[in-house]
Chain A
Amino acid sequence: MRTVGNRGPATLENYQFLEKISHFDRERIPERVVHARGAGAHGIFEAYGTVGSEPVAKFTRAKLFQEKGKRTPVFVRFSSVIHGGHSPETLRDPRGFATKFYTEDGNWDLVGNNAFMPSNQIRLPTGRMESGFLTS
């Protein structure tokens, strides 16, 4: 860094420094409103070609399920729900379990939990903060 003498002050021409520090200042994006705390991994989904003892085609034409042994790449993100990005993973909370299947027809996201939900969408934003539910 260029400075006026080796004890400073610095001048505005230090483009590399400014670029580096400006990038650092922007390293974060808004945290998820819910499910902020999470971990993820890549993997593979392998189809059985059946649903129980019947051919899966009886119920769905989705290609990823049809052939026994067909492999589809996946990415999974696990999370807690209401707590922030660096909250303890030991807290009492439902856990998120979201899977992205990269299928030959495009992506399928199965966005689940390990537990159950309030039944009316209008309640969701307040329900997550554990305040009283709206009555509508």
Chain B
Amino acid sequence: MITFLFSPWGIPANYRMMQGSGVNTYKWVNAAGEGVLVKYHWEPLQGIKNLTQAQAEEVQGKNFNHATQDLYEAIERGEFPEWELCVQIMSDDEHPELDFDPLDDTKLWSPEQFPFLPVGKMTLNKNPENYFAEVEQAAFGTGVLVDGLEFSDDKMLQGRTFSYSDTQRHRVGSNYLQLPINAPKKHVATNQRDGQMTYKVDTVEGVNPHVNYEPSSLNGLKEAPKAGPDYEPEYHAKLVRQKIDRKNDFKQAGERFRMHEDWERDDLILNLVNTLAPAQKHIKEKMIEMFTQCDTEYGRRVAEGLKTASENITGGPIGSTKSGEAVVQAEEESTEANPY
């Protein structure tokens, strides 16, 4: 992640020209109840563009809302941004032949081994009418799934799945799912009742609204019929508190370092050096040791950069060399005024 984040990939040009990833591993289940592991990817048809630190600082000096403005104006002009949704598929097992665990969300699945298979295309063609009602109150969650899509045993994803809906109840309110931006367009009724800002009885016409339990002989809601057999994986393991076996934290970072183009690698090194320069010696040494484990050239370049880095670099936004300079500049270059 660091090898991506400190390279120009850490500052996408805007929201239209970036990829998206489901990050975690999910499952797909077919009509026979058979499951596979999948990873999702959004591929922008506008292409991918990223900024160097220097370019980003220049853009920021003129407009720090440029990405929101870019998205809004592109849609208003009728230049609708599009992404193709791709999935990578592998069978649902431990895959001992791989040097990483398929449930490890820090790992990419090699596209040569697990090709990106397109399943559809998304077009964004309408701006929000009210930022607060739509964008601010939009509440997402990784457990919000439909039949045929499941989350995997990835423990990181299971933690996320609790956290998202929990935070929406705190942030938006316990009935956040009744808001138009969050409610399904095809109504799905539940027996959930009451709570802050209850807008309506969550039922359907013709059903007794006073019954909030199931089963009931008084014409309450009935559970929807199953669309197909459940996928039922089998487990034979102890309940443990352990890390996953195949962590392999450095190999993909080394590959990413070598895959970067020269300008991306140069910016990556520059940003790491500028960020680490104000750090304590033992932190620098630890970081160099880890970069060296990824790729010896990676470690060497950061170490050499740190040797010659200016002593004047102070802590500030990651990658920036000039935050301390700005503090001094504001005082020194400003002009005195008389009290009003």
Contact = CB atoms under 8 A, between A and B. Distances in A.
B156 A117 contact: yes
A105 B186 contact: yes
B78 interface: no
Interface string B160-189: 100010010011100000000110111010
B18 A43 contact: no
A48 B118 CA distance: 8
Nearest to A74: B122
B47 interface: no
A116 B148 contact: no
Contact of B171 (A32, A51, A119): A32
Contacts of A91: 11, 56, 317
A103 B147 CA distance: 10
Given A60-B30, A107-B184, A116-B1, A44 B125 contact: yes
A63 B148 contact: yes
Contact of B185 (A33, A39, A73, A109): A73
B138 A75 contact: yes
Given A74-B122, A91-B11, A92-B6, A121 B160 contact: yes
B106 A102 contact: no
B192 interface: no
Nearest to A118: B106
A108 B182 CA distance: 11
B321 interface: no
A84 interface: no
B64 A90 contact: yes
Greatest chain B CB density within 10 A among A39, A87, A98 is at A39
B217 to A, nearest CB: 27
Contacts of A109: 140-142, 144-145
A119 B59 CA distance: 33
B188 to A, nearest CB: 4
Interface in A42-94: 42-48, 50-52, 56-65, 73-78, 87-94
A122 to B, nearest CB: 8
Interface in A108-124: 108-122, 124
B319 A92 contact: yes
B312 interface: no
Given A44-B125, A47-B120, A107-B184, A112 B5 contact: no
B122 A51 contact: no
Contacts of B68: 39, 89
Interface residues of A, number: 72
Interface string B127-139: 1100010111110
Contact of A63 (B64, B146, B156): B146
Contact of B20 (A93, A97, A108, A124): A97
Contact of A78 (B64, B67, B132, B170): B67
A87 to B, nearest CB: 8
A41 B14 CA distance: 14
B22 interface: yes
A3 B33 CA distance: 72
B227 A106 contact: no
B12 interface: yes
B228 interface: yes
Greatest chain B CB density within 10 A among A38, A64, A103, A105 is at A105
A12 interface: no
B147 A61 contact: yes
A107 B144 contact: yes
B21 interface: yes
B75 interface: yes
Interface of B: 1, 4-6, 9-12, 15, 18-24, 28-31, 36, 38, 40, 42, 51, 53, 56-57, 59-60, 64-68, 71-72, 75, 80, 85, 87, 89, 104-108, 115, 117-128, 132, 134-138, 140-142, 144-149, 155-156, 158-160, 164, 167, 170-172, 181-182, 184-186, 188, 227-228, 243-244, 247, 271, 317-319
